[in-house]
Structure 1
Amino acid sequence: MRDDALTGPEATAGASSHVVTRVLLLMSDTGGGHRSVSEALAEGLRALYGPAVEPRIVDAFIQYAPFPLNRSPALYPYMVKPAIVPFYARAWHFANHPRRARQLAYLFWPWVRDRIAKLFAENPADVIVSVHPLFNDVTLRYWMQAPRRVPFVIVICDIGNIHALWCANADLVIAPHEGARRRTIACGVPPERVVVTGFPIRLRFREVRNRPKTFWREQLGWRPDLPTVLVMGGGEGMGKVFENARAVAESGLPVQMAVVAGRNERLRRRLAAVDWPIPTYVYGFVRNIPEMMAAADLLITKAGPNTIAEALAVGRPMILTHYLPGQEEGNVDYVVNGGAGVYAPEPEQVKEALREWLTRPGLLEALSQRATAMGYPDAALDAARWIWEIAHSKRPGSKGA
């Protein structure tokens, strides 16, 4: 995509139209990724089409699902605790088959049918976009019975293991990479309905690449002259964040470190109480992750799909330390096999990887180049174009309707 993409013909054509295209984005805060992708898509749509588009983000679980599904976002942090994870992983794998996925949706249908009808009655749209796998089959089942339906788009929000629940026969499925496209087709979606745009992330990640690391370090108040390690654990501060930070501090390397605890306030306080032997900056939940990644040389993080997509977009290699069994297992393989990082589940392994990366001449630069090659910084814009196109091609009276 060209750097002048936001001033191209689509933007001016959209802005001059008197018809507003309504885009309904279905998500749920079961994990941070679904909301982030929804916001990235809304941002991409507004950037390209301005007032000609009206994106609306709806948390379908909280606002429309029956009890106890409407408690899913609040329960999710407990569902992924170590004691529960094995049961969560078994359920994930059991449902990861096209036939069983459809049967699961069929069982839920009588329970959620009225709520689905209410959702679409109260949120009229010209195109519906799902960024959550549990909404796909029930949405299609509803529109199969409707006298007139609108286009339905699925945006896959996983990177490694693509669950069968993503692979519903929508009008369009937007995949994060070619491997995900092949998986979707293997599950029965016609090839002409699957496109690859990358994993949609905020546009800020494409913008920060235009400045050197030293610029962003100065903006953040970090030392501009030191190699910089960014330690994260996702929005909830999951995994061995404290232990990994201590491994960096004890590596004996001349580095500085930024640690993001996310919403884990207990972790933030614990980190802040330490007298670290290297320059260290401790944060809670922040909104300037693009700038932090652009300022860092590498990340130490859990294998969440959003974090991986964001790091690749700015060309930062990763030491992956933790993953959620089932849905995040394949994320590790995706990064490692692509040459953009390593898996180091123990702090001592983190320390060893860090020493190798920062002492072997040219290694960190080679890893960064591989990460850059795997990144899709324009994914939100490319996905927005596809959503706009199908919304208009499927309108009554339009070509292809």
Structure 2
Amino acid sequence: MTKNILIISSDYTGHGHKSITESLCEVFSQNNNVKIHVVDGFSLGGNTLLKIGKSYGPITRKSESLWELVWNVSTLKPLLVNEFIELIIRDNLLKLIKEVNPDLILSVHPNFNGSVINVLEQNKIKIPFVTLIADLVSIYPLWADTRADYIISPTVEAKDKCIEYGIPEEKIKVLGFPVRSRFYNHEEHSGYKSDEPLKCLIMSGGEGVGNMRKIAEVLLGNFNCIVRIIAGRNTRLRNALTKSLGEKYGDKVEIYGFMENIQELMFSSDIAITRGSPNVMMECTASNIPLVITGALPGQEEGNPKFAENYNLAVVCTDIKKMKDTIENLMKNNGENLNKIKKSQRNYNTANSAKDIVNFILSVISND
């Protein structure tokens, strides 16, 4: 008998929620007895909520202080957030549930945990509800609703935070951070070679935030290197970088927009320089490319740089004035420190996470 699973994700608040959903759908597709229905949770609230979701990109690009305010308000008043979203999504959610008739609901966005459970409870609908946390360390209270049947955590650190929020330990399953399979489909890198140009990849998540131009100028002005920059959806940034760097450095610099096959650039790079986006960090780790983390968004990314350092998945350099020394330290002794990071990334490998998560979700359905 076919089982229906409803996944509530997000298309516009960065690219991480969508990437996580895709990684799970890859595995679910191997099971002919499961039908997956994915919905952008913000679309359930019509134009009002969609506008809120689409504002994530402009806010994080232009005003980190405003994003920090949004985070803090949401953290202090999670019940109000849940009630607000519940009010907006109720009718469309109930209509969707009637159409899909799900055997389980999986949420991969914090805004659709308590709000969806509210709707289910008020309408006396009993469907297993599972939350999959899409952050690594610094998690919203919105992720931790005690009424969820289970919460899937990517890390022990996120699990500990859930327990602080009052989630019973037996409800939390630490199953790793799911990454799409194509980021693992590479041969083992031979490592950096000092007689070749250092191949650098600069990126900053799907929204293209961060001071990429200055970082590129430090690299191009001090090292024998080739610099590739991913500007994400930020078209204005891409055009500005193409003009300012392309004219000066020619074929030593390549500027890209949002890419579906970004793993190909990762596989052919010696080092990636990025902000502490959990999805980008874990995709780089899967691709076995050493990281330099230049900062993190306030709120959900704050703990990520330290997390990466603790597991030696990256080094952290938040001051561009220290970027030259940071790169030199990684490259010395024929890339000794770069290769240590690569080894740590291989040891951290979470290639089976998506499969483990899917198997757990299927077990919940079979036991229901």
Whether TM-score is above 0.5 comes out as: yes
Equivalent residues of 2:60, 2:209 under 8 A apart: no
Select the residue among 286, 290, 293 that pairs with 1:313.
Answer: 286
Aligned to 2:42: 61
Q: CA separation in 1, counterparts of 2:66 and 2:221?
A: 36
Q: SS state of the match for residue 258, structure 1?
A: strand
Q: CA separation in 2, counterparts of 1:326 and 1:297?
A: 30
Equivalent residues of 2:129, 2:149 under 8 A apart: yes
Deviations 1:174-207 (A, max 9, x none): 1111111121122122212211111111011222
AA at the equivalent of 2:45: A
Deviations 1:236-293 (A, max 9, x none): 2111112211211112x23322221222223223333423277333222111122222
Q: 1:65 to 1:108 in 2, by over 3 A?
A: closer
Q: CA separation in 2, counterparts of 1:242 and 1:376?
A: 32
AA at the equivalent of 1:53: V
Aligned to 1:121: 98
Q: CA separation in 1, counterparts of 2:124 and 2:239?
A: 56
Equivalent residues of 1:314, 1:377 under 8 A apart: no
Gaps of 5+ in 1: 1-18, 218-223, 395-401
Q: CA separation in 1, counterparts of 2:287 and 2:351?
A: 8
Select the residue among 85, 103, 110 that pairs with 1:133.
Answer: 110
Shift of 1:157: 0.4
Judge which range, 34-43 or 313-322, deviates more. 313-322
Judge which range, 184-193 or 298-307, deviates more. 184-193
Deviations 1:29-53 (A, max 9, x none): 2221111111111112114x2x222
Q: SS state of the match for residue 249, structure 2?
A: coil
Deviations 1:198-221 (A, max 9, x none): 11110112222x35469xx9xxxx
Aligned to 1:259: 229
Aligned to 1:233: 204
**1:43 counterpart = 2:43:** no
Aligned to 1:80: 60
Q: What are the within-5 Å matches in structure 2 for residues 159-174 of structure 1?
A: 159-169=136-146, 170-174=148-152
Shift of 1:79: 2.2
Q: SS state of the match for residue 329, structure 1?
A: coil
AA at the equivalent of 1:233: S
Aligned to 1:22: 4
Equivalent residues of 1:160, 1:333 under 8 A apart: no
- Percent of aligned positions with the same letter in both sequences? 28
Q: SS state of the match for residue 104, structure 1?
A: helix
CA RMSD of superposed structures (Å):
2.3
Q: What are the within-5 Å matches in structure 2 for residues 125-274 of structure 1?
A: 125-169=102-146, 170-208=148-186, 210-212=187-189, 225-251=196-222, 253-273=223-243, 274=246
AA at the equivalent of 1:313: A
Q: What are the within-5 Å matches in structure 2 for residues 327-366 of structure 1?
A: 327-361=300-334, 362-366=336-340
Q: CA separation in 2, counterparts of 1:67 and 1:200?
A: 30
Equivalent residues of 2:137, 2:155 under 8 A apart: no
AA at the equivalent of 2:55: L
Q: SS state of the match for residue 65, structure 1?
A: helix
Q: SS state of the match for residue 29, structure 2?
A: helix
Q: What are the within-5 Å matches in structure 2 for residues 94-105 of structure 1?
A: 94-96=73-75, 100-105=77-82
AA at the equivalent of 2:302: E
Paired residues in the alignment total 360
Aligned to 1:296: 269
The TM-score with structure 2 as length reference comes to 0.90
AA at the equivalent of 2:96: L
Q: What are the within-5 Å matches in structure 2 for residues 357-396 of structure 1?
A: 357-361=330-334, 362-394=336-368
Q: 1:266 to 1:102 in 2, by over 3 A?
A: closer
Equivalent residues of 2:189, 2:288 under 8 A apart: no
Shift of 1:103: 4.5
Shift of 1:68: 2.2
Q: SS state of the match for residue 304, structure 2?
A: helix
Q: SS state of the match for residue 316, structure 1?
A: coil
Gaps of 5+ in 2: none
The TM-score with structure 1 as length reference comes to 0.83
Q: CA separation in 2, counterparts of 1:36 and 1:108?
A: 23
Q: CA separation in 1, counterparts of 2:81 and 2:202?
A: 38
Q: SS state of the match for residue 323, structure 1?
A: coil
